[in-house]
Amino acid sequence: MTRSRVDAVGIADYHVGMASPATLPNPAQAPPPADPQAIRACLTQTLAAEFDHEWQVVLDLVKQSQNLSKLHSMLQKWRHIAYQEMRDPGSYYRMLAKVEQIQRSGGNPDGVPFEQMQTLIRDRQDRA
């Protein structure tokens, strides 16, 4: 603290250097709205191309059926993909690679047998 002056009644006028407020981390981004332009804006170029292709296919189906439910489902699916990609870029393609690995091998090499998982759950419940 540094004292800059004393006023007429003897009360000091102090000038104190103030620290900047701490920068808080950005809160988790919200998922994009169920709007094709908003969703597309969150995607990589490669994923946007996949979105565009599926968008055209679904629009053709909607035109034929005159039922918007497939369009709403498609937008919800891509909304989740866009949100996951915003939080963890590359997660969609990692998931597809994992699916392919499981389909090829017939099982999940990183998986745990069901009985072992049940035992783990019981043990954790007992500790709680």
pLDDT tens figures, 59-108: 999 999 999 999 999 999 999 999 999 999 999 999 999 999 999 999 88
- Residue 28 is predicted with a pLDDT of 59
Q: How far is residue 121's CA from residue 81's CA, in Å, rounded to a whole number?
A: 29
pLDDT surpassing 50 at residue 2: no
* Stated length of the chain: 128
Pairing of strands 2-6, 12-15: antiparallel
Q: How far is residue 54's CA from residue 56's CA, in Å, rounded to a whole number?
A: 5
Q: How far is residue 4's CA from residue 74's CA, in Å, rounded to a whole number?
A: 66
Does the reported pTM lie above 0.75?
Answer: no
Mean pLDDT of the chain: 83
- Residue 46 is predicted with a pLDDT of 95
Q: What is the pLDDT of residues 5-34, one digit of tens each?
A: 444 544 444 444 444 444 444 455 899 999
- Residue 7 is predicted with a pLDDT of 47
Domain spans, the chain: 33-106
- Residue 1 is predicted with a pLDDT of 45
